[in-house]
Homo-oligomer: A and B are copies of this chain.
Amino acid sequence: MLIDGGWREARAVGTFQAVDPSTGEPLTEIYPISSYEDALDALEAGRKASLELAAAPPDAIADFLDLFAARMVEQADQLVETAHRETALPVEPRLRLNELPRTANQTHQAAAAARDRSWCRATLDVKLHIRSRYEALGGPVVVFGPNNFPLAFNAAGGGDMVTAIAAGNPVIAKAHPGHPGTTRLFAEIARGCLDKAGLPPATVQMIFHLDPEDGLKLVAHPSIGAAAFTGGRPAGLKLKEAADRAGKPIYLEMASPNPVFILPGAMKERGEAIAADLFASCSLGAGQFCTKPGLVVLINDEAGQGFVEAARLLFDQPPQGYLLGRGVVDGLKAAIAKMKSQKAMVLVGGKEIEGPGFRFANTLLVVHAWDFLRSPEIFQQEAFGTATLLVLVPDLEEMTAVSEALGGNLAGAVYSHGGDEDDDLYRLIEPILRPKVGRLLNDKMPTGLAVVSAMVHGGPFPAAGHPGFTSVGIPAAMIRFAALRCYDNVRPERLPAELRDRNPTGRMWRLIDGEWSRDDIQR
């Protein structure tokens, strides 16, 4: 593990191996499960580093991130091969052409935001000498990475890690046990960039694995600044409870079924094309995206039946790719079994495919609205895999009822007629759906998350822990890892550069007496 700048042996309480999902066999490398003492060492080093980082120039942080991104690209072969071995995600296009460039790109964006400094929303009331900004938390951020994006959401190289550092916080990465080798590579690359940028060695630390109970203690420790978790709901809720009780911020992205409404005009106009959209989105990454469309609401009329048949044909082909682990297969099985117990029917698939490796048939389920409405929670449990549930509603009124029974989601989409045929229904559904989803789409499936400033990857509980934040989109994602702090009558020479009269870059945006400005304050 990487503690305080050096690689050292864990005081392990056990060991583990990653598994090759394409064979189901453990890989040869053996990794330690750290003791809580290891975690405490990381915390102590991280606590000290947080003081040093608070005093580091933003340009040094930006230099580190730019260098880190460049080295990722230089070492793409090794990263991509290791990630492929540990996750069985395809080398091309997925890992090499999509995920790695995205990972490097978001790291450069984080660098640019750190350099630009506008992210901290400096707010100055000139006459009263009161000035405030968001600034680093004052303790390390603990990042728990998910299984499904070994690069872009990696605990030691993904979006949470780079936005936490861009906001000025050291990171303690807790590797996902599905891809420890990939995480180690990221940590090695990051470690190699720190000295050159002049940042403290404990800016990036990495632990391979922890006993879950120790994870709960970690997110509640007085020395941490915050925690970020991307992954399944049961683990996420436990971490949330521990952090909440200690009054520590924790940001969770726990996935969701991401409902898609197909309005009748769109169905008549282009039902088959939408079915193709659905299958493409649903089977992306073997259905292991947090924004996979897992629930489709449509009218049970002739056009709807045509759509069901078109979708059935598309799903009725051998699955592409592997599931990430035994747990994913079991989760999918359990979710399907529960839905079946509540009168969902399997139209196609529904079965694990005999080995080698973790594979599951593409699965299309269907349920009638009245059965859906009897136990809506059962039908909204997110499960990874190329599986989706079609909810057949008899009429527009029931479509509204289904939308009212939805919980919090990362994303939700509405397909409507290219002209205005569906506009009345859209106006009925939208106000109900809007507060339930972090991102509302029109005529587009929810997978494929652009890393741009207006992106929101978050939403109401239980999709996320708090509806006011996003884990994707820079600079907004950085605000998670910052505290709002005020300087009241603090002497000019003691103010942080961002809050002094002179604009520190000449280009930083600041809210001065209520107006956004790049100007210096003139006296």
Contact partner, A485, options B456, B480, B514, B516, Cβ 8 Å = B456
1/0 contact string of A437-474 vs chain B (CB within 8 Å): 11111111000001011111011111001111110010
Contact partner, A486, options B248, B456, B487, B490, Cβ 8 Å = B456
A516 to B119, CA, bound (A): 12
In the assembled complex, A330 has its CB within 8 A of some CB on chain B: no
Asked if B482 and A468 make an inter-chain contact with CB atoms under 8 angstroms apart, the answer reads: yes
Q: Which 10 residue pairs spanning A and B have beta carbons closest together?
A: A247-B461, A138-B435, A456-B486, A516-B516, A467-B483, A244-B244, A439-B486, A123-B454, A125-B452, A132-B454
Asked if B130 and A452 make an inter-chain contact with CB atoms under 8 angstroms apart, the answer reads: yes
Contact partner, A468, options B249, B444, B465, B490, Cβ 8 Å = B249
Asked if A485 and B51 make an inter-chain contact with CB atoms under 8 angstroms apart, the answer reads: no
CB distance from A312 to the nearest CB of B (A): 27
In the assembled complex, A153 has its CB within 8 A of some CB on chain B: no
1/0 contact string of A413-457 vs chain B (CB within 8 Å): 000000000000010001100111111111110000010111110
CB distance from A436 to the nearest CB of B (A): 8
In the assembled complex, A8 has its CB within 8 A of some CB on chain B: no
Asked if A455 and B486 make an inter-chain contact with CB atoms under 8 angstroms apart, the answer reads: yes
Asked if B248 and A490 make an inter-chain contact with CB atoms under 8 angstroms apart, the answer reads: no
Tell me which residues across on chain B come within 8 A of A443, comparing CB atoms: 489, 491
In the assembled complex, A358 has its CB within 8 A of some CB on chain B: no
CB distance from A502 to the nearest CB of B (A): 17
Asked if B441 and A489 make an inter-chain contact with CB atoms under 8 angstroms apart, the answer reads: yes
**Which applies to chain A's interface (DSSP): helix, strand, loop or mixed?**
mixed
Q: Within residues 273 to 303 of chain A, which ones have a CB less than 8 A from any CB in chain B? A: none
Using CB atoms and an 8 Å cutoff, list the residues of chain A in contact with chain B: 51, 54-55, 123-125, 128, 130-132, 134, 137-139, 240-241, 244-249, 408, 411, 426, 430-431, 434-444, 450, 452-456, 458-462, 465-470, 473, 476, 479-480, 482-491, 494, 509, 511, 513-516
Tell me which residues across on chain B come within 8 A of A467, comparing CB atoms: 137, 249, 483-484
- A455 with B240, Cβ < 8 A, contacts A430-B494, A435-B483, A469-B484 known: no
A124 to B442, CA, bound (A): 16
- A426 with B468, Cβ < 8 A, contacts A454-B123, A484-B458 known: no
A137 to B434, CA, bound (A): 10
The interface centre, meaning the residue of A55, A134, A486 with most chain B CB atoms within 10 A of its CB, is A486
Contact partner, A455, options B130, B426, B511, Cβ 8 Å = B130
- A55 with B456, Cβ < 8 A, contacts A248-B461, A485-B440 known: no
The interface centre, meaning the residue of A438, A458, A460 with most chain B CB atoms within 10 A of its CB, is A460
25 A-B pairs within 8 Å (CB atoms) are namely A55-B431, A125-B452, A132-B456, A132-B473, A138-B435, A138-B460, A241-B244, A244-B245, A247-B460, A247-B461, A249-B467, A249-B468, A434-B485, A438-B483, A439-B487, A440-B487, A440-B488, A441-B490, A442-B490, A455-B486, A456-B484, A467-B483, A468-B483, A509-B516, A516-B516
Tell me which residues across on chain B come within 8 A of A441, comparing CB atoms: 488-490
Tell me which residues across on chain B come within 8 A of A460, comparing CB atoms: 138, 247, 483
Asked if A244 and B240 make an inter-chain contact with CB atoms under 8 angstroms apart, the answer reads: yes
Residue of B nearest to A515 (CB): B509
Tell me which residues across on chain B come within 8 A of A483, comparing CB atoms: 435, 438, 459-460, 467-468
Contact partner, A454, options B130, B440, B479, B515, Cβ 8 Å = B130
Asked if B486 and A438 make an inter-chain contact with CB atoms under 8 angstroms apart, the answer reads: yes
Asked if B440 and A486 make an inter-chain contact with CB atoms under 8 angstroms apart, the answer reads: yes
Asked if B137 and A514 make an inter-chain contact with CB atoms under 8 angstroms apart, the answer reads: no
CB distance from A501 to the nearest CB of B (A): 14
Tell me which residues across on chain B come within 8 A of A131, comparing CB atoms: 454
CB distance from A421 to the nearest CB of B (A): 13
A488 to B131, CA, bound (A): 35
A21 to B342, CA, bound (A): 60
Residue of B nearest to A513 (CB): B453
CB distance from A112 to the nearest CB of B (A): 9
Asked if A434 and B488 make an inter-chain contact with CB atoms under 8 angstroms apart, the answer reads: no
Tell me which residues across on chain B come within 8 A of A125, comparing CB atoms: 450, 452-455
- A123 with B461, Cβ < 8 A, contacts A54-B431, A128-B450, A483-B435 known: no
CB distance from A406 to the nearest CB of B (A): 12
CB distance from A439 to the nearest CB of B (A): 4
Tell me which residues across on chain B come within 8 A of A459, comparing CB atoms: 483
Residue of B nearest to A244 (CB): B244
Tell me which residues across on chain B come within 8 A of A430, comparing CB atoms: 494
A494 to B132, CA, bound (A): 36
Tell me which residues across on chain B come within 8 A of A458, comparing CB atoms: 484
CB distance from A354 to the nearest CB of B (A): 39
CB distance from A498 to the nearest CB of B (A): 12
